[in-house]
Amino acid sequence: MADTLVEKQTLLQVENLKLYFPLYRGLILQRVTGHVRAIDGVSFSIERGQTLGLVGESGSGKTSVARALVRLYKPTEGRIYFDGKDLATLEGEALRNMRQRIQMIFQDPYASLNPRFTIASLIAEPMVIYRYGSKQEIQDRVLELLRVVGLRPEYADRYPHEFSGGQRQRIAIARALAIQPEVVIADEPVSALDVSVRAQVLNLLRQLQRQFSLTYLFISHDLSVVRHFADRIAVMYLGKIVELADRDELYAVPRHPYTKALLSAVPIPDPKVEKRRSRIILSGDLPSPINIPSGCRFHTRCPMAQEICRKEEPRFEPKGNGTHYAACHFSDKVSGTEDA
C-alpha cells in the first residue's frame, strides 16, 4: 500500500496496526509468558464519504480493530492517521477532542444501552460530556435525532427495556450521531437483530450517510450484507487483512482462498445457479492467536497449500488492476487468471 501519509480524500489511514495482549503466569510475581496477537499488522485507508466493509469469521480480530481505532484499546504498534493526526500517539485532552469526531455503534443493543437511563439521557450524554450547548439546545437536539432515526419524540422519557431490538439499535445510532461525528464505526450493527428489521436498519444507516456525509467502517461476518452496503471490502483472518478490493472486484475475482471459501457460503437466490455451485468447506478451526502458524497463517486450512505456504509468509501486495490487494502465493490460481 502507498507509503505516503494521506491522499487528498483519505480521512482515515491505518498503517501496520498491532494489538497484543500479554499473558501472565503466577499469582504474586506475574511473568509475561506470551501474547495474544489480536491484530498483527493491519493496514488500510478509508476515503471521506466511503464505506469500508471489514469481514471475517469470529476471532479474526475485527472488533479489536474497531476498539483500537477509537482508542478503547491502546495499540501496541502502528499508526492511525485521522485527518492527518496520529490517534495512536494522542493522550489526554487531545485524544478526547479527536474522539468527538469518531463514534461507534456496538453489536448488541441490549448491552450497549444503560437500562437505568431514559432514552433522552442516553442520547444527551455525549452532548453533555462535550458541552454541546445549553440544556434546551440539548433537549431539542435529542428530539430531532429521534425523528431522524425514525422514532417518535414522545419516546424520549421511556427506558431501553420498553423497546424492541431494532428500536434499541436506532437509539444507539442516534446516540452515535449526537455530537456530529465524521466517522462512524459500526461493529456488526444488525447481527443481533431479527432478519425482518435488518434491512430497515441498513437502509437507515445508508440514508444517514447521505444526509450527514458520514464515513463508515462497517464490520460484519455476513458477506451478503457487506456486498450491498460497502464500497470497498477488507477480508481479515487471524489478525491480518488477507485481501482488500473494491466490492464488485472482490466478488467477481477473489484472489485469496479464504475469501473464495467465504463467498462460496453466501446463498444465491437463483435455485439453478445455487444447484451448480460447489461449496468450499474449510477443514479445522481458526488457529489460536497465541500460537500463530508459520508461513501463511491460512495454510493449516487452505485446500491449495503447498510447501512454500508453510515456510514463507506471503506479501500483502497489489494484484491485477493495482487497487486489488491480496496476501497469497497463488493468487492467480485462486482467481483463475493465471497465464497459460
Separation CA 176–CA 178 (nearest Å): 6
The three cell numbers locating residue 187 = 461493529
Mean pLDDT of 144-152: 96
Pick the residue with more confidence: 337 or 137? 137
Confidence of residue 5 (pLDDT cuts 50, 70, 90): very low
pLDDT over 50 at 180, yes or no = yes
Provide the pairing of β-strand 51-55 with 215-220: parallel
Radius of gyration for the chain, computed over Cα atoms and rounded to the nearest angstrom:
21
Does residue 98 contact residue 90 with C-beta atoms inside 8 Å?
Answer: yes
Q: Give the pLDDT of residue 339.
A: 42
- 274 vs 298, more confident: 298
The per-residue pLDDT for 274 is 60
The answer to whether 92 and 99 have CB atoms below 8 angstroms apart is no
Q: Place 276 in a pLDDT band, splitting at 50, 70 and 90.
A: low
What are the φ/ψ torsions at residue 18 (nearest 5 degrees)?
Answer: -130, 145
Which is it for strands 232-237 and 317-319: parallel, antiparallel or unpaired? unpaired
Query: Mean of the per-residue pLDDT values for the chain?
Result: 90
Question: Cα–Cα distance between 44 and 312 in angstroms, integer?
Answer: 23
Distance of alpha carbon 100 from the chain centroid: 19
Alpha carbon of residue 39 to chain centroid: 13
Question: Residue ranges per domain, the chain?
Answer: 10-48+57-94+220-335
pLDDT reported for residue 242: 97
pLDDT band at 109 (very low <50, low <70, confident <90, very high): confident
Query: Is the predicted pLDDT of residue 270 greater than 60, yes or no?
Result: yes
Q: Determine what percent of the chain is predicted with pLDDT higher than 70.
A: 93
Question: Does position 80 have pLDDT exceeding 90, yes or no?
Answer: yes
* pLDDT band at 1; cut points 50, 70, 90: very low
Q: Which residue has the higher pLDDT, 9 or 47?
A: 47
Confidence label for 332 from pLDDT (cuts 50, 70 and 90): confident
The CA-based dihedral angle spanning residues 25, 29, 30, 31, taken in that order and rounded to the nearest 10 degrees = -80
For 59-68, write each residue's pLDDT tens digit.
Answer: 899 999 999 9
Residue 7 pLDDT:
45
pLDDT of residue 272: 66
> Residue 268 above 80 pLDDT?
no
- Higher per-residue confidence, 318 vs 7: 318
Q: What separation, in Å, do the N-terminal and C-terminal C-alpha atoms of the chain show?
A: 28
Look at 119 and 267; give whichever has higher pLDDT: 119
pTM attached to this predicted model: 0.90
Confidence of residue 228 (pLDDT cuts 50, 70, 90): confident
pLDDT greater than 80 at residue 226: yes
Q: Please say if the pLDDT value at position 28 is more than 90.
A: no
The cell for 135 is: 440544556
**Residue 150's closest CA among 137, 136, 163?**
163
Average the pLDDT over 178-196 and give the result. 91
Asked if pLDDT for residue 249 goes beyond 60, the answer is yes
Answer yes or no: are the C-beta atoms of 142 and 123 closer than 8 Å: yes
3-state DSSP call for residue 330?
coil
Backbone angles phi, psi at 197, to 5 degrees: -110, -5
The mean pLDDT of 14-33, rounded to a whole number, is: 88
Determine the Cα–Cα distance for residues 186 and 105; give it in Å rounded to an integer.
Answer: 5
Does pLDDT of 321 surpass 90? Answer: no
Strands ordered across the beta sheet of 183-187: 102-105, 183-187, 215-220, 51-55, 232-237, 240-246, 324-326, 317-319
User: Which of 173, 260, 243 has its CA nearest to residue 211?
Assistant: 173
CATH of domain 10-48+57-94+220-335: 3.40.50.300
Cα→Cα distances 249→104, 234, 254, Å: 28, 12, 7
What distance in Å separates the CA atoms of residue 270 and residue 115, rounded to the nearest whole number?
Answer: 44
CA-based torsion, 7, 85, 95, 124: positive or negative: negative
Residue 176 C-alpha from the chain's centroid: 16
DSSP H or E stretch at residue 202: helix 195-212
Lowest mean pLDDT among 13-17, 106-110, 268-272, 318-322: 268-272
What 19-28 contacts at long range (C-beta under 8 Å, 24+ apart), as own/partner pairs, is 19/61, 19/64, 19/68, 19/73, 19/75, 19/76, 20/76, 23/290
pLDDT of amino acid 340: 33
Average pLDDT over residues 124-128: 95
How confident is the model over 6-17, as a mean pLDDT? Answer: 82
DSSP 294: S
